Amino acid sequence: MNFSLTDTIAAVSTPPGEGGIAVIRISGKNAFVITQLIFSKTKDMFTKINLNQEKSHTIHFGYLISDNSVIDEVLLSVFKNPHSYTGEDVIEISSHGGTYVSGKILQLILNNGARLAEPGEFTKRAFLNGRIDLSQAEAVADLIKSKTETAHTASIRQLEGSLSEFVKKNRQKIIDVTSLVELELDFADEGLEFVKKDEVKKMIINICKDIKKIIDSYIAGKVIREGVNLVIAGKPNSGKSSLFNFLLKSDRAIVSTVAGTTRDYLEESIIINGIMFNLTDTAGLRSSDDFIESEGIHRSRKKISQADLIVYLIDSSMNKKDITDEIEFFNKNFDVNKSFALMSKSDLKKNEIKHSLPEISLLDEPSVENLKNLLVQKSISVSSVSANEITITNHRHKLCLENTIKSLTDAVNTIDKNLSGEFISVDLRNAMTHLGEITGEVTNDEILNNIFRNFCIGK
Amino acid sequence: MKKYFDIIVIGAGHAGIEASVCTAKMGFKVGLFTMDLNAIGRMSCNPAIGGTAKGHLVREIDALGGIMGQIADKTGIQFKMLNTSKGPAVWSPRCQSDKNMYSIEAANMIKDLKEIDIVQGVVNELIIEEAEKSNQKYKFSIKGVKTENNSFYFCESVIITSGTFLNAVMHTGKSRLEGGRIGEKSATGLSECMRTLGFETGRLKTGTPPRLDKNTIDFGKTETQNGDEIPKPFSHKIYNNFPYQKQVDCYLTHTNEQTHAILRTGFEDSPMFTGRIKGIGPRYCPSIEDKISRFSDKPRHQIFLEPETLDGDSIYMNGFSTSLPFDVQQKAANTIVGLEKVKLIKQGYAVEYDFFPTHQIYLTLESKLVSGLFTAGQINGTSGYEEAAAQGLIAGINAGLKLKNEEPFILKRSESYIGVLIDDLINKCPEEPYRMFTSCAEYRLVLRQDNADIRLMKYGYKFGLIEKDLIEKLDVKINLINEGIKYFETNTISPKIVNDYLQSKNSSELSQNEFLSNLIKRNEIKLSDLIEMDAFKENELLNIIKKDPETVNQIEIEIKYKGYIERQNEHIRNFENNENIKIPSDFKFEKIKSLSAEALEKLKAVKPASIGQAMRIAGVRPSDISAIMIYMRG
């Protein structure tokens, strides 16, 4: 990678396409110099602006000039280092929207000495300049990608540092426990009272509980960021495709149809009440005669196992025995926590069979609304989304937290094995390292400093 | 008068002794300069060698060919292995030594080496030259030293181990006296000379407690503190029949509320609290006044009474370091149980001295400014005899290697406490006197006092500091350990043979054959015990192993704690990966604009040799490291 932190980068920061305005961002040592070459305060003659004399966080009206002609009427936002997003000198040019104009402005900037920014490079610089920590940088990436309101909120919260805050707090707790454990190793003959192993164990378990909660939020976090993976399953002709197509038609599909890796299923995304659902229709299964043995079932099973939520359709128009068999099949094979059965084609039902399952008829609007509510409700319960809690949306964070828990669990096992402090400390220090990986912190002196702060040491 | 040495060592304390002895053994002509011929190897403070983590250092010094362990063994009057209730990694040997004997023994060992000339005198100037143009790494190079009486001595290398003596000032109450130890003067001139050259100096403070007259103590009212019944030597050179000195007891008593009340009456005259002492003192070894003011809720503090010599009258009052006025010290001491009638022979005092912040030296302990100039011990901001000795040895070895034009010797954090000590010194540039703790060593489980020889003796041998027979013995031991581990990991034992034994140890019985190593992993099973079973009587390998308890111990540790040791080894591999990403010595950190001002300053001062080292520098943030790595890759 040919990547330097010393040059000046630029890019159009608003998404491509037609819009009211576009923002072009320039960051780096020469951001001001380059801007001064192309920006004039007046239209008819070139009146140079001296950006070094302007205050940070000010906006200036003027014209972008190329070859003596005006390209656009713009506003300049001036951010002086280190008080900018990247920590460098930053200029944001608000121009009129449209790919043509913004492209032309960007070209002008590049011609005057800036380099086109690589994807994420502004954020990378913010990180390298110490403006944001690793988890915040990742949140920015997530924020940019976020497709729904809930995802946006979660990223914003992470950006504000709530995860960093959590990591910091819990890392301190582990440092405290480690100091208690290590105190005994270095200061055995200081006449101090040492904490009982049971106490230490209790403290570790409590930390585990807190971290576990955050890990659990990952399901929610993933749902928020990537949407709920919803699979519509059921026997051939149970109405899967009809439901699939109906839901797509009734709600805005935000992602164009993605052909499945095989012809056996289709995926589409829709938003219901602010929650994104990635719909999978196991459509290809319909043509298979030997349902159980077909190759398709494997793929379908795989899809089902990856699903966050499964709707299993049972055809109301079948005879009584088939329906009872189907209910039994569902109860036996599906996890009730993330799936529910739905009686389809309720307008065509032949027999009165007693069941407590919800019904749907695509001809009956209230029953469709009912299903949508049910989907939202269920996805909230699978994700246990709550507005005020910290959620993690990043897989790397989840792994770090899981490793932390693993090391903490090792520590508890070490205590149970009745091994002495230096072994417990190996596990605790590992836990600290894993937790620190989220924000990129490293430990060493913190334990000793903690000991000196809290205990009277010194014969 | 003009005289020439290969290497000049300034100061004959614990660092100076090691520096001069190892360079002499490496074949150099050494001038050892001391202000007082009788003060060689003097124990300025507590009469003990070793202790937690410090004991590890002594064992490592010994494995590398240093002599501190041997002197301690010959003069130890109470040996104790600390932390034996815990795992083997934190066991730490300690001994009380007769401090007079210690000094005499140290002087004798030096006098035995004809390569060392002891010179009495105060060095007050360094003789330096501009470094050659070709040598851009340094500004100057060392040529010799000048003493107070205007004698010049020329040399290739100088090692300064000045202890607390540079511009030393002692404080007791309001009284202020120049000198590095009671009855000894201060060394002036050298700091000033070095500051002129561009060195930065700082002030540190340390303290010592009063010494008590043994005949005025009622030991009957105190708790007796015994040493180990069977003393274990520090030195790897002693394997059988350790001929230790007569062993004595120490005693424990406590301060009380009344003691604290009297001490508080002296606070207004305390040089610490009134700000007359500017130097920073160690948090781990606070004065008694510091303890009672910072931890005012503690009703009492431990006081250990430790004989300073085998037959003399002086008792070291461990835990009562103070710089309060003498009369307050005396009155407060008299409130302590057992000390009601005690007479203070020497008062406690604080001493302030110059040190040279360690961003000015390389990991070899050589100055970044003056080629051939090394510093070791308290001058580098450490405290403790063992820390000083360790640095003296490393400075000496590196001074020698440099004269031989050989690669420098830098121990890694992953292979020794000495490596941790020096790495911490250079990268963290501590602001208080640095003391070794086991918690400073992140790879504690593999850096044990019991395997110092396995870890380090090869280096001592390479430098000519370890005799051939020792290294041969070690090779045999290492082979035996490996064979032993292999044997226990690949051989099984049947329930019939072992169940009776297991029952006798309250260990659950076997229902089918089991690997011996799995039995050894059990807490309640001791290898030394297990191999005494009749079933192993004819086993040739085990019969050889049995003869050496050290070998049995190593095998047991490696098997019992295998999981933990493996985990730690994995960390060590990660650590070494970062150590192996080298940063060129002429790397221009200022080219990376994104580095924070603090990080840039530290990086430019320390000049880390690797990414791993850069990561450990205080003030360098993770983002700085990423920036350096990205820059280097780009």
Is the pLDDT at A290 greater than 70? The verdict is no
Facing A5 at nearest CB: one of B85, B285, B592 = B592
Three-state DSSP state, B40: coil
Return phi, psi of residue A12, to 5°: -80, 125
Surface of B (444-463) touching A: CB under 8 A: 444-445
Mean pLDDT across A337-353: 80
Highest mean pLDDT among A247-256, B319-328, B427-436: B319-328
pLDDT score for A291: 44
Question: For residue A394, is pLDDT > 50?
Answer: yes
Q: Do residue B270 and residue B374 come from a single domain?
A: no
Q: Which residue has the higher pLDDT, A170 or A237?
A: A170
Residue in the structure block whose two tokens are 């095989």: A262
Q: What residues are paired with B489 via a beta bridge?
A: none
On whether both B183 and B40 belong to a single domain, the answer is: yes
Q: Which of B311, B333, B349 is the last residue of a domain?
A: B349
Q: How far apart are CA B24 and CA B206, in angstroms?
A: 31
Q: Check whether residue B117 and residue B197 sit in a common domain.
A: yes
Tokens for B308? 């300073």
- Spell B398-423 as b/e; 16+ CB within 10 A means b: bbbbbbeeeeebbbbbbbbbbbbbbb
Residue A219: the pLDDT is 66
> What is the number of domains present in chain B?
4
Report the residue of chain B nearest A185, measured CA to CA.
Answer: B90
Query: Burial code of A18-35, b = ≥16 C-beta within 10 A, e = fewer?
Result: eeeebbbbbbbebbbbbb
B447 is a domain residue: no
Using a CB-CB cut-off of 8 Å, the residues of chain A touching B634 are 1-4
Of residues B335, B353, B326, B374, the one with CA closest to residue B254: B335
Q: Give the Cα separation of B391 and B419 in Å (integer).
A: 10
> Average pLDDT for residues B319-338, to the nearest whole number?
95
Q: Which of A49-63, A210-224, B48-62, B281-295 comes out lowest in average pLDDT?
A: A210-224
- Give B-chain residues touching A448 at CB under 8 angstroms: 437, 439-440
> What are the residues whose beta carbons fall under 8 Å from the beta carbon of B505, sequence distance 6 or more?
B524, B525, B529
What CATH number is associated with residue B221? 2.40.30.260
Torsion A152-A153-A154-A155 (CA) sign: positive
- Shared domain for B407 and B303, answered yes or no, is no
pLDDT of residue B466: 97
* CA–CA separation, B54 and B237 (whole Å): 19
List the 362-381 stretch of B: residues with Cβ below 8 A of A: none
Query: Domain for residue B188, yes or no?
Result: yes
Listed range (A141-150, A152-161, A196-205, B476-485) with the worst mean pLDDT: A141-150
B239 and B366 both lie in a single domain: no
CB proximity under 8 Å: A 151-210 to B: 182, 184-191
The region of weakest confidence among B114-118, B119-123, B304-308, B576-580 is B576-580
Between positions 51 and 110 of B, the ones with CB within 8 A of A are 52-53, 82-83, 85-87, 89-90
Candidates B428, B487, B453; CA nearest to B606 is B428
| Mean pLDDT, rounded, of chain A | 78
At residue B435, does pLDDT exceed 80? yes
Residue A3's pLDDT is 42
B positions 496-525 inside 8 Å of A (CB): 523
Q: What is the mean pLDDT of residues A27-43?
A: 93
Average pLDDT over residues A53-75: 91
Q: Do B328 and B271 share a domain, yes or no?
A: yes
Same domain, B22 and B155: yes
Of A212-226, A302-316, B359-373, B453-467, the least confident: A212-226
Please identify which residue in the block is written with the tokens 């032949």. A350
For residue B337, tell me if it sits in a domain.
yes
> What is the rounded distance in angstroms from the CA atom of residue A415 to the CA atom of residue B359?
41
Residues A19-48 have a mean pLDDT of 90
Nearest Cα residue to B238 out of B514, B504, B453, B421: B453
Residues B19, B167 within the same domain: yes
pLDDT of residue B223: 96
Q: Running DSSP on this structure, what letter comes out for residue B3?
A: E
| Distance (Å, whole) CA A317 – CA A324 | 12
Chain A positions touching B571 (Cβ under 8 A) are: 430
Give the start-to-end residue ranges of the domains of chain A.
9-131, 158-219+392-454, 226-383
Determine, yes or no, domain membership for B78: no
- Please list the residues that pair with A341 across neighbouring strands: A312
A447 interfacial to chain B (CB closer than 8 Å): yes
pLDDT for residue A137 is more than 50: yes
Measured between beta carbons, the chain B residues lying within 8 angstroms of A425 are 439, 444
| Per-residue pLDDT, A263 | 39
Distance of alpha carbon A217 from alpha carbon B403, whole angstroms:
63
Residues of B in contact with A190 (CB under 8 A): 302
A130 touches B: beta carbon within 8 Å: yes
- For residue A124, pLDDT over 80 is answered with no
User: Touching check for A429 and chain B: CB below 8 Å?
Assistant: yes
pLDDT at A283: 47
Domain A9-131 has what CATH class? Answer: alpha beta
For chain A, say whether B286 makes contact (Cβ under 8 Å): yes
Q: Which two tokens stand for residue A119?
A: 């994807």
- pLDDT higher than 90, residue B446: yes
pLDDT at res. B20: 98
- Contact of B283 with chain A, judged by CB distance below 8 Å, is answered with yes
Interface with chain A: mutation pick from B280, B306, B600, B623, highest number of A CBs within 10 Å: B623
Between A141 and B89, the more confident residue is B89
Please determine, for residue A286, whether its predicted confidence score (pLDDT) is greater than 60. Answer: no
Is A439 or A398 the better-scoring residue by pLDDT?
Answer: A398
Mean pLDDT is lowest, of A20-34, B439-453, B572-586, for B572-586
- Tens of pLDDT, residues A227-256: 788 888 888 778 887 888 788 775 443 333
pLDDT (tens digit per residue) in B498-511 = 999 999 999 999 99
3-state secondary structure of B120: strand
Query: Could you read off the pLDDT of B380-431 as tens digits, one per residue?
Result: 999 999 999 999 999 999 999 999 999 999 999 999 999 999 999 999 888 8
Q: Min CA distance, B143 vs chain A (Å)? A: 39
Q: Are residues B413 and B551 in the same domain?
A: no
pLDDT-derived band at A387, boundaries 50, 70, 90? very low
Domain A226-383 has CATH 3.40.50.300: yes
pLDDT in tens, B82-115: 999 888 999 999 999 999 999 999 999 999 999 9
Compare A295 and B7 and report the one with higher pLDDT. B7
Residue A188 with chain B: CB contacts under 8 Å = 52, 82-83, 86
Say if B62 falls within a structural domain: no
Running DSSP on this structure, what letter comes out for residue B607? -
The CATH number linked to B175 is: 3.50.50.60
Residue B98 has which token pair? 């007769």
Out of A314-328, A341-355, B82-96, B179-193, the most confident range is B82-96
pLDDT at B300: 92
Alpha-carbon distances of B101 from A61, A320, B40, rounded to whole Å: 86, 103, 11
Q: Is the torsion defined by CA of A175, A176, A180, A186 positive or negative?
A: positive
Query: Residue B53 has what pLDDT?
Result: 94
What is the pLDDT, as a whole number, of residue A145? 59
> Given this model, what pLDDT does residue A384 score?
52
B380 Cα to chain A: minimum distance (Å) = 19
In a domain, B85, yes or no: no
Average pLDDT on B308-314 reads 95
Question: What residues in A contact B298, CB-CB < 8 Å?
Answer: 456
Helical (H) or strand (E) element with B600: helix B597-606
Mean pLDDT, residues B287-312: 91
State yes or no: pLDDT of B513 exceeds 80: yes
> Would the CA dihedral through B194, B196, B199, B204 be positive or negative?
positive
pLDDT for the residue numbered A289:
46
Task: Judge whether B569 is closer than 8 Å to chain A, CB to CB.
Answer: no
Give me the CATH number covering residue B489.
Answer: 1.10.10.1800
Chain B nearest-CA residue for A137 = B623
**In this predicted structure, what is the pLDDT of residue A456?**
60
pLDDT, averaged across chain B = 92
**Residue B221, pLDDT score:** 96
Question: Does the residue B79 lie in any domain?
Answer: no
The reply to whether B406 and B390 lie within a common domain is: yes
3-state secondary structure of A93: strand
B228 and B313 housed in the same domain? yes
Among B327, B349, B371, identify where a domain stops: B349
Q: Which residues of B are less than 8 Å from A4 in CB distance?
A: 631, 634
B626 vs A: CB within 8 A: yes
Distance CA A33, CA A114 (A): 10
Confidence of residue A284 (pLDDT cuts 50, 70, 90): very low
Which of these three, B533, B564, B595, is where a domain ends?
B564
Residue B574 within any structural domain of the chain: no
Containing structural domain, residue B329: 211-349
- Check whether residue B586 and residue B612 sit in a common domain: yes
Interstrand relation of B92-97 and A309-315 (parallel, antiparallel or unpaired): unpaired
| Residues B622, A442: C-beta atoms closer than 8 Å | yes
Q: Are B376 and B384 in contact (CB under 8 A)?
A: no
Domain A158-219+392-454 adopts which CATH fold? Four Helix Bundle (Hemerythrin (Met), subunit A) (1.20.120)
Give chain B positions within 8 Å (CB) of A422: 86-87, 89-90, 438, 444-445
Which of A127, A188, A418 faces B523 most closely, judged by CB atoms? A418
Contact A313, A234 (CB under 8 A): yes
pLDDT at residue A256, rounded to an integer: 33
pTM tops 0.95, yes or no: no
